[in-house]
């Protein structure tokens, strides 16, 4: 499902206009990104948690030459699914 399909499905379920759903989706994602960028976490109980995680510096390997390369430490966004989300996906097998 892509963004357009998500907006259409949500508009259908909520009986709201697509433009309103799109505005809410944009506000939601912008808020999550801004909050995680400040190294704070966003938690939606039963759905999941977004947060910033530190990735340590490490040594990688150039696949073409086999040469070792240094990969710098960085901060990356992560998402951990909540128990309700996990259970729903597990039950759908």
Q: Where are the domains of the chain?
A: 1-38, 42-93
Taking the C-alpha atoms of residue 21 and residue 24, their distance in angstroms, rounded to an integer, is 5
- The residues pairing with 76 across neighbouring beta strands, listed in sequence order, are 53
Q: What is the reported pTM?
A: 0.83
Which structure tokens are listed for 71?
């990969």
Low-confidence ranges of the chain (pLDDT < 50): none
pLDDT of res. 93: 81
- pLDDT tens digits, 53-78: 999 999 999 999 999 999 999 999 99
- Would you say domain 42-93 falls under CATH 3.40.47.10? no
Q: Find all residues with CB under 8 Å of 60, minimum gap 6, and list them.
A: 68, 69, 70, 71
Residue 39: per-residue pLDDT: 96
């Amino acid at each position: 499902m892509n963004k357009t399909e998500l907006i259409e499905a949500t508009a259908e379920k909520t009986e709201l206009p697509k433009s309103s759903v799109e505005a809410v989706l944009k506000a939601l994602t912008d808020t999550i990104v801004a909050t995680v960028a400040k190294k704070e976490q966003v938690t939606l109980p039963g759905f999941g948690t977004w947060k910033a995680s530190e990735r340590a510096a490490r040594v990688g390997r150039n696949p073409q030459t086999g040469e070792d390369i240094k990969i710098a430490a960085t901060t990356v966004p992560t998402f951990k699914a909540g128990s309700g989300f996990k259970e729903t996906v597990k039950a759908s097998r």
